[in-house]
Amino acid sequence: MAIEPRYSLTGIFLNANISGMDKLAAALGDAARWRIVEQLADHPRSVGELAELTGLRQPQTTKHLQTLARAGLVTVFPLGQRRVYALESEPLQALERRLRELAERTVAHADERDVIARYRTAIERESAVADQDRWADGRLFSFERVLAASPDVVWRYWTDPELLASWWAPRPMTIVDAALEPSPGGRAVLEYADAEGHRYRSEGTVSTARDSERLVFTLAVLDAESAISFSSQYAVELAAASAGTRLRLDLRIDETTVDAVAYIAGIETGWNQVLDNLAEVIGEGAASRRTATSTTDKD
C-alpha cells in the first residue's frame, strides 16, 4: 500500500512566481533550518531524529520544519503516531537553476564591477597626491571612437538637447538638464542625479561651433554650494571615416580643488562610459533607419 502524504507544497512552489523563490531563500537563510535540510538530504527523518542530530529542542525543530514545508522544501508523512519529514528535490533544483543564472549574469557583467573597482583605485591614487588646490591643473585626457553614423548625425547627438540627454551620463545616473548650444557664447550645462537623489551640476560656455566638425566648450563642476570644484575645456572633433565618423575628444582640467578628487578620479572611467553610451544609441538609431529603409524598399 502506498503511503500518501498529508500535504505537499512542492507543486505550489513550482507553479509560484518570484514570491515562491523569496520563501525558499528565506527558509534556507536560517542556519538551523539549513542543518535540518542537510540531514534530510540523506533520507527522511522524524522530528526526534532531527532534533537529536541538530542539537535543537523538538518544539524548535517542529517550527523550523513547518517553515520549510510552507516553502515547499519538505513534505510530512503521518505514520501512525509518528510524523516523518522528507526533503523535496524540485525546489532545490529550481534554486540551483536560479543561482546558476545569477552566476552567469554576474560573470557576463563582470566588467561593470571592474569599472567600480578601478574607480575606487583611482580615488585612492588621486587622494594621495591631492594635498593642495590646483593639484591637477593642466592634466590632459583624450578619447577616440568610430561611430556608425555620418558627422552630421553625430553632431546632432551633441547639440540636440533630447539626443544629448540620451547618452551624456554614466549609468545608472539620470539626466536632469543637458545642453550644448552650438554657437559662440552658447550655454553648456550638464546636470544629472543618482538613485539617492544627489544632483551633480556643471555649467559653462560654448566657444567654437563648426557644424558637424568641431565643438569647443567649457564646463565647471559645481559643489553643493555652487562653488567650482574644477573646470574643464573640451574639444570635440568629428571627421568622416569609412565606417561612419571618427570622434576625438580632448579635455584639459583647471581650477582643481582638493575636494574634486572623486570627480577627477572618475574622468577617464566616466567619459569612456558615456562615449560607449553614445556609440550604442547611435548604433541603435542606425539599425532602426536601416530597418525602415529596407521595409520601404520592399514595399
Alpha-carbon distances of 216 from 100, 151, 154, rounded to whole Å: 48, 16, 15
**For the chain, how far is it from start to end, CA to CA, in angstroms?**
70
pLDDT tens, position by position, 63-77: 999 999 999 999 999
Rounded average pLDDT over 223-248: 95
Is the bond preceding residue 172 a cis peptide, omega within 30 degrees?
A: yes
Rounded to the nearest integer, the mean pLDDT of the chain is 89
Confidence of residue 289 (pLDDT cuts 50, 70, 90): low
Residue 81 cell numbers, joined: 503516531
58-84 burial by CB neighbour count: b if 16+ within 10 A, else e?
eeebbebbebbbebbbbbbbeeeeeeb
Confidence of residue 21 (pLDDT cuts 50, 70, 90): confident
pLDDT at 15 over 50: no
Segment 71-112, tens digit of pLDDT: 999 999 998 888 899 999 999 999 999 999 999 999 999 988
Instruction: Say if residue 231 is exposed, middle or buried (CB neighbours under 10 Å; 0-12, 13-18, 19+).
Output: buried
Is residue 161 within 8 Å of residue 172, measured between CB atoms?
no
Residue 205 has pLDDT above 90, yes or no: yes
Domains of the chain: 10-106 (1.10.10.10), 134-298 (3.30.530.20)
Task: Give the contacts of 296 (CB within 8 A, at least 6 positions apart).
Answer: none
